[in-house]
Structure 1
Amino acid sequence: MSFANKRKFHRLMLAEPLYGTLKIVGLNEKKLDSKLAHMFILDLGAGGVRIHSVHSFPVTPDLLLEFGFTLFHTDHRYLGTITRKSSHSDKVFEYGIAFSLDETERQRLLQSIHLLSIRLRQGAELSSCSFCNDEQYASFYGVSLSESISADRPGRISR
């Protein structure tokens, strides 16, 4: 069985996840302001992201979330909705997120993603981006980042 890719924009797959935050900003057209929750971004595109979170959210267009992360010393904050959900483990959920962006936001994000893609291919030092560190990764998944990458993805990109 094959699945067609419904994405309008290319996604950059990340060998090491970006560390970011999310919060609920609306539900059923009512404004909310929840506490920040931590997330890991596994891939990133101008149309959305794939993330891991320890929080269980319903898949509904009525739930509006704000996602935040840093690329090249610039904070990015985008609104989006959950399009799909699956269990990664007993404690971690994987979500597909569709961003709600205007054209200016989309172009800004595309430029940052393009630069990130180039820098990752060059093996550049990327301390200006919010990639997770070993401590964050270990507390989230219960295993160190270096152990995970060695086992799952040989050829870790050095930063």
Structure 2
Amino acid sequence: MTLQPGSPAPDFTLSDQDGEKVTLSSLRGRPVILYFYPAAMTPGCTTQACDFRDSMPALQSAGYTLLGISRDTPEKLRAFRDRDGLTFDLLSDPDHAVHEAYGAWGEKMNYGKRVEGVIRSTFVLDGDGVIQHALYNVRATGHVARLRTLLQPA
């Protein structure tokens, strides 16, 4: 199951890297970027997170709130944030229920083998919580630049 532009974003409440609860619906009124990634502190996920970090001034000036979501524990997320100077919240979804609700969990190819796991995905939501862009199977490298181009006003 994948989500399509125009669909309401599934609401959720998850713990952030500090153990604080974050509820998606509490962010209504501003656009949100959610990105799902496999594991904190791995090479690809670090590249992607640092690209987002480096793009934060432009994203924030356009009004976006950015949230990264993985299955990692809040403690590991805090270490990831601190190690790489990340300037946005990372959310813990250990049972991958939110991943599943967004279609960011399922069968994929990994080194030529079919496995079940995180499908690297990004969702752009408008201020009403409606999906504007649903990007599945994105690459860690170059994805943020592509996303920023997609978000440019026409």
TM-score (norm 2): 0.24
TM-score (norm 1): 0.24
Q: Does 1 or 2 have the higher relative contact order (CA < 8 Å, sep 6+)?
A: 2
Q: Which has the higher helix share?
A: 2
Kindly name which structure, 1 or 2, has the bigger radius of gyration based on alpha carbons.
1
